[in-house]
Homo-oligomer: A and B are copies of this chain.
């Protein structure tokens, strides 16, 4: 791949920012050391493909920093985002050779990778990894299912509010902020990417964001910086004040 470079210094796993959430979260020191031996870092530039759908996958790995998307495409070009990749999320499926989706770096992305074969044999020998991977996969399945009701049953306005509340809550949890009081964050996605996530057109996304702004549900500085004065109001607009689950 052209738009990718190796990072020279191997970071120490103990100091890794995703140490406690990634697939290696449960590993003991000696297990970490074994992973350290087979890991390598890769950097992907914003906009570049990490993996092409249908290509042979010879590695798996965790997102260390940056944001990526999992995208599916129909023959006539319609696309649907089927997942957001955030730091600590895992890419690649043990036991499968071909990628089922396009993986695209939305921002610059740094990944901690393992060649597939060595990782699979570690997986077979290390229950701590296998358990954590099962747990993460179950969480992703729940998130995917929670997203289905957004795609299938929510109005455009509710879809936008749902996405904003997910991003707001994730951002709050990343920065250890409480979700009471005003929240502010940057949108990591273009209008088009939001449209692909929500099953809308980019024009509809733009209109609904304008409408939420007009109604005082959100405030905008520039195109990307969002302030939510009242999180409860936003979640009400999303159609489920209970929760919504995903990516919390």
Determine the distance from Cα of A83 to Cα of B96 in the docked complex, in whole angstroms.
23
Determine the distance from Cα of A78 to Cα of B150 in the docked complex, in whole angstroms.
11
Q: Does A74 contact B (CB under 8 A)?
A: yes
Q: Does A82 contact B (CB under 8 A)?
A: yes
Residues of B within 8 A of A137 (CB): 134, 137-138, 141
Asked if A145 contacts B70 (CB within 8 A), the reply is yes
Q: Does A127 contact B (CB under 8 A)?
A: yes
Chain A 126-150 interface 0/1 with B at a Cβ cutoff of 8 Å (1 = within): 0100110111011011101111110
Contact of A83 among B130, B145, B242 (CB under 8 A): B145
Determine the distance from Cα of A101 to Cα of B70 in the docked complex, in whole angstroms.
25
Residues of B within 8 A of A138 (CB): 93, 95-96, 137
List 5 interface pairs A-B (beta carbons < 8 Å), by A numbering: A75-B241, A82-B145, A148-B151, A152-B199, A153-B199
Q: Which residues of A contact B (CB under 8 A)?
A: 70, 72, 74-76, 78-80, 82-83, 93-96, 100-101, 124, 127, 130-131, 133-135, 137-138, 140-142, 144-149, 151-153, 198-199, 239-242, 245
| Shortest 4 CB-CB contacts between residues of A and residues of B | A152-B199, A151-B151, A82-B145, A80-B149
